[in-house]
Structure 1
């Protein structure tokens, strides 16, 4: 139960911030957002505020921000269609009823002759006395159909009416907010847990190791190796790794007293090849430093971004196969393992997942944010947009391929963890 709660909170937060990026920059560009959804499938909760419907849906596998002008969003009134309208104090239509089961006071009935609900914003038709009348439509008019109210979207409030830059930013902001979320999680870790100082302090000395034989003890602070000043653990590691069987002079600080030790590293076979070791373990001390926590947040976000790109590179070269990928089931099982290690490890896991989602969405693949950005790039270069039907077909094929990939990855996860 605890794993399920942790998974829902982590994945829900990552998806929420991703969609929040799309939402904020869409609104900033003046685009009407019809729905802000967490999850897919049937709606289990919904609340309308302003012109946007906020929903939580059954399948916690993602989310979406539905903007006006996308996915056949435009509404057309065909000639001959009978509808009811209500006029406001400016004699403009502010409500359009597409079925006559719902009525309200002062409703007028029209048989549509022609209309434009996007640019000129009018409805022209015959009233009940067979007179041809024309009414302007208010910019914030609503259409009522089957007891559901939908705001009309004037063309200047639609996604397609905005510049390439505005549309690109509305799409790019989703992945961007995943990186921002990761930064703030790492920042919080730095503030709450502290940041590693990277001081070359020996944590544990293994029995019968070169370090133990030389007299090194837990808590020793290494100051120099062969006359070279040592300020960080990485410097110590680099100095030792290529010095197998070569005596090295260590200057250490032990309880404020400097001592000199002769340590001879021995060669050890590892997965990365043969390296020299002296038989010590390291765990960096932690310190609480607000400024350092900011730097730590930025550095960790950068380092994990670099690591994930490296893994993607191995997938392209073939040294990392599709069988090694994990889907929702694999992420759930990993969350279960990490949750047992404490809240700080869980926070780091959430940051890594957020970076991963941001990177995956930026890949130039159909149906992903990166694929849409690629079409905007073509539009900027050509000076005109790609044909909507062709773009829609490419994204549809991409969605189908992603669904197949998700099924394959999920099946691999099920076999790996349950069989």
Structure 2
């Protein structure tokens, strides 16, 4: 009985939230490809959520097979002239088509149409994230605090630099800060990187130099991460905690800004990994996403949707990487085609796709290792 209860808890508390988040992100990504392809006049054979055997589906009036498949770890749009779900051109079939029929295939479409269709998937992911953040901000508002110091930790970078309780942080490295979150966001991705903090004390401004310390922190679920900290704390009284409400247009602007923070934070993190200032243990795969989905689900629908927004941005960025097999790899080939005046040869593309697939598999293995063993140390 206990084993059944554990299994039921795993399904309802982790697996179902994970599948909800993943299905939403995949569906929107593939819908971007689908809508752009339709707009460009490219025929579409299938729209699939998941891989493997079909569980359910139907044909629409345009001849597209919409289906839900058994392995819910991705999806695809199959265009006319594609041999498989990976959009490999079926050259044998393409050779027997008329010019008009070929123009409705993906390979036969104009270069700009192919580029727009491919780019639309990642773009749809960014749009989804902005939409989720916008709705959240418009519905619930946003809690903010002024960047005023209530406490300075002993032996911290801030203490060594001379920051005192009551100081107002005005800017960091010349970039203005308006909330305490602005300070945290900027400092967290700069461990062991010298920064200049401008404070205002007794009506006068001072520039204080300090180096954020690399520190391991835990979130409310016990997940550990290394970030840069300078050792300052605010509280409700000193920071003037409040909820800022946004109108529709303001909420969209804030949603776009929040999505941009995720983009820049991702690149900052990767740069820190390359330079050795941070560990690569925050690169996770499906297991970590499933765990995070279950954790966010305990906080409510809004928290789960915000996780979906963060993951949507991450997947959009990943797909734009110039790696063959990914959307960014296709766009790279189209850029080469535009410069050369002719497409890259099939043999070259085949070799590049194999290399790209190997890179993706290596990343998947690394992420899965992090998910299962990376935190044990």
| 8 A Cα contact 1:268 1:276, kept in partner | no
Aligned partner of 2:98 in structure 1 is 119
Q: 1:282 to 1:310 in 2, by over 3 A?
A: farther
Per-residue deviation, 1:164: 1.2
| 8 A Cα contact 2:146 2:241, kept in partner | no
Q: Using the alignment, how far apart are the partners of 1:290 and 1:61 within structure 2?
A: 34
SS where residue 46 of structure 1 aligns? Answer: strand
Among candidates 42, 46, 51, match of residue 31 of structure 1: 42
Aligned partner of 1:175 in structure 2 is 122
SS where residue 160 of structure 1 aligns? Answer: coil
Among candidates 158, 176, 200, match of residue 146 of structure 2: 200
1:14 aligns with 2:25: yes
Q: Using the alignment, how far apart are the partners of 2:305 and 2:241 within structure 1?
A: 19
Q: Using the alignment, how far apart are the partners of 2:182 and 2:58 within structure 1?
A: 58
| 8 A Cα contact 2:132 2:255, kept in partner | yes
Per-residue deviation, 1:38: 1.2
Aligned partner of 1:58 in structure 2 is 70
Aligned partner of 2:6 in structure 1 is none
Report the TM-score when normalising by structure 2.
Answer: 0.71
| Higher RCO structure (Cα 8 Å, ≥6 apart) | 2
SS where residue 366 of structure 1 aligns? Answer: coil
| 8 A Cα contact 2:53 2:70, kept in partner | yes
1:411 aligns with 2:365: no
1:68 aligns with 2:83: no
Q: Using the alignment, how far apart are the partners of 2:264 and 2:135 within structure 1?
A: 21
1:353 aligns with 2:311: yes
Aligned partner of 1:300 in structure 2 is 258
Per-residue deviation, 1:235: 11
Structure 1 gap ranges (5+): 78-115, 121-138, 140-153, 217-221, 225-229, 251-266
SS where residue 299 of structure 2 aligns? Answer: coil
Q: Using the alignment, how far apart are the partners of 1:10 and 1:415 within structure 2?
A: 24
| 8 A Cα contact 2:28 2:128, kept in partner | yes
| 8 A Cα contact 1:241 1:276, kept in partner | no
Structure 2 gap ranges (5+): 1-11, 83-87, 155-163, 171-175, 185-195, 204-209, 215-227
1:191 aligns with 2:138: yes
Report the TM-score when normalising by structure 1.
Answer: 0.64
Per-residue deviation, 1:74: 5.5
Q: 1:155 to 1:275 in 2, by over 3 A?
A: same
| 8 A Cα contact 1:242 1:276, kept in partner | no
Q: Using the alignment, how far apart are the partners of 1:394 and 1:191 within structure 2?
A: 45
Q: 1:390 to 1:302 in 2, by over 3 A?
A: same
Q: Using the alignment, how far apart are the partners of 1:236 and 1:160 within structure 2?
A: 46
Per-residue deviation, 1:269: 8.5
Q: 1:236 to 1:344 in 2, by over 3 A?
A: closer
Q: 1:324 to 1:289 in 2, by over 3 A?
A: closer
State the structure with more CA Rg: 1
SS where residue 107 of structure 2 aligns? Answer: helix
Aligned partner of 2:217 in structure 1 is none
| 8 A Cα contact 2:145 2:180, kept in partner | no
SS where residue 181 of structure 1 aligns? Answer: helix
Per-residue deviation, 1:40: 1.9
SS where residue 287 of structure 2 aligns? Answer: helix
For 1:253-264, list aligned pairs within 5 A: none
* Greater helix fraction, Structure 1 or Structure 2: 2
Per-residue deviation, 1:232: 4.2
Q: 1:397 to 1:201 in 2, by over 3 A?
A: closer
For 1:10-159, list aligned pairs within 5 A: 10-49=21-60, 50-70=62-82, 71-73=88-90, 117-119=96-98, 154-159=101-106
Per-residue deviation, 1:48: 1.7
Q: Over the residues paired in the alignment, what is the CA RMSD in angstroms? A: 4.0
Q: Using the alignment, how far apart are the partners of 1:352 and 1:3 within structure 2?
A: 18
Among candidates 158, 161, 173, match of residue 108 of structure 2: 161
| 8 A Cα contact 1:156 1:162, kept in partner | yes
1:386 aligns with 2:344: yes
Q: Using the alignment, how far apart are the partners of 1:414 and 1:235 within structure 2?
A: 31
Per-residue deviation, 1:296: 1.2
Per-residue deviation, 1:43: 2.1
Per-residue deviation, 1:315: 3.8
1:369 aligns with 2:327: yes
